[in-house]
Structure formats: C-alpha cells, structure tokens
Structure 1
Amino acid sequence: MLESITLTCPYCGESFVTTVDLSAGSQRYIEDCAVCCRPIEVTLRVDDDGELLGVDTATDRD
C-alpha cells in the first residue's frame, strides 16, 4: 500500500514528496533529502489497519 507524503528536511528546511509503503507497518529508515542530499532519519507510525498515524524526521545528530 503505497502513499505519497511530504517530508521537510531538518537540515535545509525544504519540503519534497516521497513514497512510503504502509503495508510494512511502523518503520524507521534513512532517506537522503531530494534538495541538499543529506541523510534524514524518517520514522513512520502506522496503525494495525495500515493507516499512517504520523511521520517524524531527524538529523543524524539528533
């Protein structure tokens, strides 16, 4: 179950759209910013029905 979401880079502050797979449930992964190319730690919170509850982003220093 793919869904497009908008992430805001914690480094440069720019927003970009990315696609996530909600069928994998809650997850944490690294995605490079589409603007400044720095690594963003992305945390997805997904409920048991596959609904996105929230998205958190952090730098590699947080």
Structure 2
Amino acid sequence: MTATYDFTNKVALVTGASQGIGFSVAKGFAENGARVVLSEALLHKCGERIHLVNPAW
C-alpha cells in the first residue's frame, strides 16, 4: 500500500539531505508537490543534489 500526500504550496526543510535517508525524504517531498530546502554540513554535496530533488531550480 502506498500513501499519497499533497504538499502543494508547502516548503519542506530536510537536514542531512545529500545522501541516504535524508535524500530519499527530500525526493519524496518533492514528488508530492513540496518545494524542498536541502540542509547539509558539506555545502557542495547539496549543490550536486538540488537538481535531482527540484529539477526546476
């Protein structure tokens, strides 16, 4: 069973978002309509991933 959520017009802040669970959570929010802000201790890792989560950026 797959849960469906609508995060349209919502913003999600995800910490540890460049890899692993954080990246999966960020992608999940984006796939369900949220604008996602990635937070990571290593800034260059977020830059590499932002376009995978928010393709329009």
More strand by share: 1
TM-score range for the pair, normalised by the shorter chain length: under 0.3
Greater C-alpha radius of gyration: 1
TM-score normalised to structure 1 length: 0.26
TM-score normalised to structure 2 length: 0.27
More helix by share: 2
